[in-house]
Every structure is written in structure tokens, then in C-alpha cells.
A and B are shown apart, each in its own frame.
Chain A
Amino acid sequence: MTFKKQITRMKNVFYLLFISLTFTLSSCIEIIDDIAIKNDGSGTFKYTVNLSSSKIKINSILALDSLEGRRVPSLEEIQQKVAAFKSKLEGKPGISNVTLESNYNEYIFKLKCDFTNISALQNALKEVIQEESKEKNIAELEHTWLSWDGQKMGRSVPEFTIKKTKELKQEEIDRLKEGNYTSISRFERPVEKFDNPSAVLSSNKLAVMIKTNPFVLSQNADVLENTIYLSPLKN
């Protein structure tokens, strides 16, 4: 081996060590799932993913070609995927004013769209997820996670996350526990009552919030399950 090769190899080892050690470090995710429903059933859906506390880890992963035998996409490819998601959602019936803010310095992604009714929103999201997924039939997408009859709103989460988390390592579980998942439901008239004891009501009585962490959510989908009853509609 030549000396030049020795040095090159040494430098490569240090680079790899740096990247790999960085990758082992803890990180967490924050998700805000925010839905506002008007009395007529139309509304606005906002979904925010905040990875700013994991940006070192994300940057270190993006610096790799592959991880655990799988190719790591480039930042450009991620940007293209995000743009494609937005574009597909825009084309779905009953969906309008789609915006997708992407902050690639802090890794914060904010999806926002208006919908004409709950079914339109659910169908649109299901279709886009199905189109973007390589899996042909995603059983979990059959689940109805939102319902609305003008008087009450039902929310739930499909159970697929539980299956997935069984494959996780302890360190990954710990990281999920450090994250936050916030679910907010907003209305045009006051909330009368709700089923989930973990939920809290805003002071103006127009919003209900449940806070948990991704791990708890993954283990118990019921934690977000809630039926929110609104005060009668005034004529």
C-alpha cells in the first residue's frame, strides 16, 4: 500500500466515523395535525412536521449514499417528491388552496389545504398516498379516520403504526418517546363535550387539543380517538 493510499484511507475512515457517530445520536420529531371544520362541513387541514431538533442527524444521513442497505435519497430528490405530493393533492376533487412550505434549513414542512367536506379530504389524502407508495394496496388506507355529521366530529388513527414499531430497536423507541404529536380540532361554534379524557379545551371553547408522543401513539392508536360534540347550531 502506498503512503498516499494510507492517508486517503485514514481520511476516509475519519469522515465515515464522524458521519456514523453523528448518526447514532438521539433525535426527535414534532407533528401537529390541525383540522378546522366550519359549520357547513368544509374546512382547512394543516399538517406540520418539525424535524429541527434532528437537523444534524438528517444532514448526516443525507451525506451518506446508503443506510442499512438502502439508498439515501438526495435533497433534490426529496424536494421533487414533496413538490409532486403537493401537485397531486391540488388535482384532487374538493381540495383547493394547497400550500406546502418547506424549510430545508430547519427541516420543517407545513402542508395546508382547504376542503369542501371531510370525505373529499380523506379521499384526496388516501389517493395521493396510494399513488406515491410502491405498495399496491395499503390496507390501513381503508380506515376512516375522520367523521362529521354537523353536530359531532369523530377522529381516530389506523393501527398500522403499532405493527411497524414492533420492528424498532430500543434506541429508536427512546427517540420516538422524545417527540411530540399534537392533534387539534377547531370549530366555528363552541364545543359542548368530548370523550377523550386526555383532550383539553381551549379557553374560547372553539378548539380541542390532544398532546402525546409518537411512541405512545404508535402503541395505542386510541390515544387520539375522540368524539367531539358541538353546541347546537343557532339559526
Chain B
Amino acid sequence: MLNLKALNFSFVRSAVLFIILFVSSISFAQRSEDLIPKDAVTVFSINNFTLLQKISLDDLVKYEFMEEVQQELFDGSTSGKTMKDSGIDFDQKLNVFYGKGDEYEVSGFTFGIKNKADLFQVFDDFEQIESPYEGVEFYGSYFNNLIIKGNSALLIRVEPTMEKVDATTDSIWYARGNENPFDTYGLDEEENKEDVFEEEMPEETEIDSYNVPSLGEDPNQKNYYELRDSVQVVMQAAFLDKLCTELLIRKVNLVNYDNRFAQQLTHESEGIFYLDNSRSLQNAQGLWYFETMFPTLYEDIKELYTGNVMLGDLILHESSVEFKMEARYGPELGSIYEKMNDSKFDKHVLKYINKNNTAYFTYNVDMREAYEQAYKVIMPILTDEKNLQISTNVLTIELLNEFINKDALFNTYKGSMFGTFNGIKKIKTTKIEFSYDEETFEYIEKEVEAEEDMPIFTLGFTTDRGDIPEKVLNHLSRLTSRFKNKGNYWVYEDAILEAAPLYMLNKNGLFIFTNDEDLAVNHSDGYGAEALSRTEAKKSKKSGFMYGYIDWAKAIEKFPRDFFDERENEIIDAMRGKTGAMHLTTSETTKEKTTFELIYSFEGSYENSGKYLLDLLNSIYVMSK
């Protein structure tokens, strides 16, 4: 059986270098990007690699995101070296890619080479193998491949999808006249389930004797798993050959395959990002059912997603980091987004956002318009499907569309909303205390008032039909005494974690949920002078369908330390000195695209841009783990 762990390490080891390269490279003469296979669905390309030149490799491997590869790649050969010493050409781009198709997935990175000898000091486990391609050097390490062409290199791993491997293995297995390889050996289903549940980490001997079926008498005949391993290895080689033939002989790469990517590469930002959502959708595991059961519908959905791509730029300024992202889509999907996002900003929300809030967002959409447009676009697709189940659903939707009072529905929930995080506050709760009788030390319970810290959140929705939620609340208050009408607001006792009250405000065209007693009791008509400043309010109003803000310094102080281990908390602590704010803005949505812009402006001190960027990246890695 393949040693998957070694396999994984080996790839990761190679991945290290790629991350080393992570923040660098301005490419003009060299073309590392020409080695990106067209199978790549996601690419992160670093232009300004020079930022990382001063980072020592020893420092780099201390980062959390390097944890798994520390022992593998940096096994002493890189000690005392900086990235500059690793043989990488900082004048070329570093391109990290990943892609998954129907048959195989690819991952890896491409980069420029300045000094091959230095490079192989780091990639010291790679051995040269005979190259089937003229002018191309081939190196192998476990299941990773290093391909060097001119002064550029491609480090790649090609893995056949497990679905493909399993299907082929099954086919061969049964064609040879074998029985079901997963025979339960006489155990009934219930017993079998029990074993699986209990034996989370079965010992190897148990696997050999029980789980792995054997063909029995003939020692030269492979068992099922051995056969599957062989299939996997053969497929891996075949798919690598297919990819290389296309890339190195037919010269088809992502740059000449997708012009949008080629255009993005011309940007002079520090890094660019590319994600082909349409191909990503095609390979989404969740759609296999559609693909199998409703092939025509699946094709239509694919068609709907054609042209759906995300293109991004990462720009470093002296005191800010800017991330611009463009979401592009095809005309049909775009028409829905355009209608949905063409919504008038509800200025009422602004007075419910306190100027001292740690974080908030506003979101403006028109659900009615989006519904009508989606109905126009999607219903014809569904109607064309000649399938009983789909036809029944179509009829149901059409009847609902006729019978439901859409005015009432979409005036109650219009789609626009806002949310705030208002820091940590003391909230009133109760606890049980024991009081002791001095005479006997007998003790009795008594309920006393208590205060506990609670994160304060507010979530509000725009509504033109406040009377409808009011009806629901009135009904609920008749069902339970925990729902109370307090005049300006409603309160639902012990609603949050069975301990804290939830307040509901139904005023000024908004329906608001909050656990902020101060907002409910003292500011049910808004914060007045304590609300967002005009400047901030203007930014929110001017943004497209969405605006977001986070006070990084305040937010990081409230970071959930208990979720992270000691090392991760060290990184979070390191970020504490870096104060600043994050702003997310969006453009107007058109049929073709929406642009998102995230700007992080900081004030803290830092050693150099590269180090700071790595700190940020590492923080994001820790948060997203």
C-alpha cells in the first residue's frame, strides 16, 4: 500500500519552497507563469517577491503555516540562509495553483531560477530522471515532480481523483471474477456499524486480518487495495504525461487558455488572484446528483455559471494593504445580481450603528427584484427538463408564485440588513449561591443577580410591513411569559444560551434583534449624536450592495484565545501591536461584474513589509484553520 503520509510530506516539503517564495517576484523577462497548466482553477501569483528577500528561512519556517513542512524541507540544509540564498529568481513571478477536474487534481507552483545549485540545496531530495521532453529537465521526489525549463521551474503534484481510481479498480476487480471486496464476513449490519464506530483507530494487524480482503490462496494475485494502489500509480503517471504533453509540447498553459488570467497577470500589483468559479462549480462534489440524475439541467446550470470568475489584486502601500476582487459572471446570472443589488440604501440603519462599534456591516439588496429576475431566468431552464420530479417542482413553484402575496412577503423581508459587534459588555443574569448557617454550617441555595460578560451583537432587517412581525410577537407573548412587550421594544427572556435576554425593536422601518440592553431601552430610535459620523455614514452609503468595517485593534483584543493553542496565540499576540482598520467596499453591480475592495490601514510598527505581510498571512491562516 502506498505510504500516504510520506507522500503528503513530500509534497508539502516541496510546498515549503513555494511559500518561501510567497511574497515575491517581479517578472519581466522570465516567464514562470508559462508553466502554469491550464488545469489550474485557482492561482495566486506573487509579483513583488523582493519583499521577502531579507526573510531568513529559519524565521520563515517558524510560522504556523509552515508547521507541517518544517521537518521535511528544512532539515538543516537551509540553516542560516535567507530566501535570497535559495536560488530563486526574484525577478520572476511566483505562481501558486490548484485545480480539480473530472479525472485528476493538480497543485503546485511555478517560479524562476537564478542559481540551480543553490536551489537544489533546498530541494535536496529530488533526483533527476530521464526527461521525455526536449529541453526540459525532470526531477522526482516521491510523487512530486520538479520540471525545469530554461530559467523557470514547475513543482507539481498530479493526483487522480479517488472517484476515478475507485471506478477503474472496481471495473478491473469484478472483470477478474472477484466477489465484493467489502464482504462483511458474516457479520450482520448492526454489528458491523458498531465495529466501525468503536474502532476509530484500528491497529494495523486488525486491518490486515479483517478490513483488507484477500484473494486467498494465490500469493501472486493482488488484493483489492493493492490493485487500487497500482491503478492509482499508473493513472498518476498517465495524467502527468497528459498534462506535460499539453503544457510542454502543445504549449497550452493557463495564460494562453484564459485571456482573463493573462490580463490579470499584466497588473503591477504585488500579487494577483484568479479563481475560475465556473470550472470550480463543475467539479463541485455536491452537484454529482444533478449531473447523474438530471444531465440536461446540469448542463443548463453550467451554462448559467459560464464566465463566472473571480479576479483579485493585492497591493501593498506604506501603511495599508489593499485587496481588490472582481467577481465576473455571465449575462444571465449577472442579470439576477444586477437586479438584486440595485437597491436604495436604507439610511435608517445608520442611526442604529454606534460610532464606537468594533465592527459593523451594511447589506443592501432588493429581494423582490432578485426573485422576479431569477424566476425569469431559472424557470425556463427547469421547465425544459423532461423529468417528473422536476415538472412537479416547477408546477409547485408556479402555483406558489400565483397564490402567495409577494407584496406582503417581500415588503416584510426586503433583503437589506445591517449588523454590528459592539464589544463586550456586562449583562444581567442570575446565578445560584449557597449561604451557610453559622450554627451548623448547613447551607441553602438562593438565586442572586449576577453579571456576566457577553459579546454584544445587533442584527437588523429593513421592513415595510412591521405589522407582520408584530403579529407574530403578539402571538408568541400569548404562548409564553418569556416574551414581553415593553412598549418601545420586545424582550425574550433567557433566549441567548438559556441565560441572557434577546431584545427586538420593531420601529422606523426596521426589525432589529439585539442583546444590547442599552440599545433597546435607551436608544430604540437610534443613537442620535452617538451614531456613526457623517463621514463614515457616507462611506457606507456610497458603497455598492455591501460595506463592512472592523476596528482591528479592538477586535484582536477580543479574539477567542481558547480556540487556539499556545503557538497560535503567540501569533495573535504578535498582531496585537498592529492597530488599524479594515474597510470592505463594493462597486455598483452590473450584468458583467461586481468589484469588492478590502483595505487594511494600519498604524503599528513593523520590521519590514515582508515580515508584516507574513504576519498577516499567518494570522489569516490561523483564523481560517
Contact = CB atoms under 8 A, between A and B. Distances in A.
Interface of A: 1, 3, 7, 10, 14, 17-18, 20-27, 30, 32, 48, 50, 52-53, 55-56, 59-60, 63, 67-68, 105-106, 108, 169, 171, 182, 184, 186, 202-204, 206-207, 209
Contacts of A59: 497-499
Contact of B441 (A48, A63, A186): A186
24 contacts: A1-B310, A3-B365, A14-B419, A14-B459, A18-B457, A22-B455, A24-B558, A24-B560, A27-B452, A32-B434, A53-B450, A55-B429, A55-B497, A56-B454, A59-B497, A59-B498, A106-B431, A108-B445, A202-B439, A202-B441, A203-B438, A203-B439, A206-B440, A207-B440
A207 B441 CA distance: 7
Interface stretch (B118-126, B349-357, B561-569, B600-608): B561-569
Nearest to A104: B498
3 closest Cβ pairs, A-B complex:
A20-B560, A59-B497, A21-B455
B53 to A, nearest CB: 34
Given A1-B310, A50-B432, A203-B438, A23 B563 contact: yes
Nearest to A50: B432
A88 B549 CA distance: 55
B621 interface: no
Contacts of B558: 21, 24
Given A30-B434, A209-B436, A56 B497 contact: yes
Interface string B540-564: 0000000000000000001111110
B563 A68 contact: yes
Interface size class of B (residues with CB under 8 A): 35 or more
Interface in B561-602: 561-563, 565-566
Contacts of A17: 421, 455
Contacts of B445: 108
B102 interface: no
A177 to B, nearest CB: 16
B327 interface: yes
A193 B171 CA distance: 85
Interface string B423-454: 01000011111101011110101000010111
Tell me whether chain A's interface is mostly helix, strand or loop, or mixed. Answer: mixed
A165 B102 CA distance: 52
Contacts of B421: 17
Nearest to B559: A24
Tell me whether chain B's interface is mostly helix, strand or loop, or mixed. Answer: strand
A126 B85 CA distance: 61
Nearest to A30: B434
Contacts of A1: 277, 310, 327
B440 A56 contact: no
Contacts of A55: 429, 431, 497-499
A171 B561 contact: yes
A204 B440 contact: yes
A25 B558 CA distance: 10
A24 B443 contact: no
A25 B563 contact: no
B340 interface: yes
Contacts of A186: 441
Query: Considering residues A67, A171, A204, which has the most beta carbons from chain B within 10 angstroms of its beta carbon?
Result: A204
A68 B565 contact: yes
Given A14-B457, A21-B455, A50-B434, 10 more contacts: A3-B340, A14-B419, A24-B561, A24-B562, A25-B453, A30-B434, A53-B450, A68-B562, A171-B561, A203-B438
A112 B396 CA distance: 60
B244 interface: no
Contacts of A204: 439-440
A14 B417 CA distance: 14
B300 to A, nearest CB: 16
B394 interface: no
Nearest to B429: A56
A26 B452 CA distance: 8
B224 interface: no
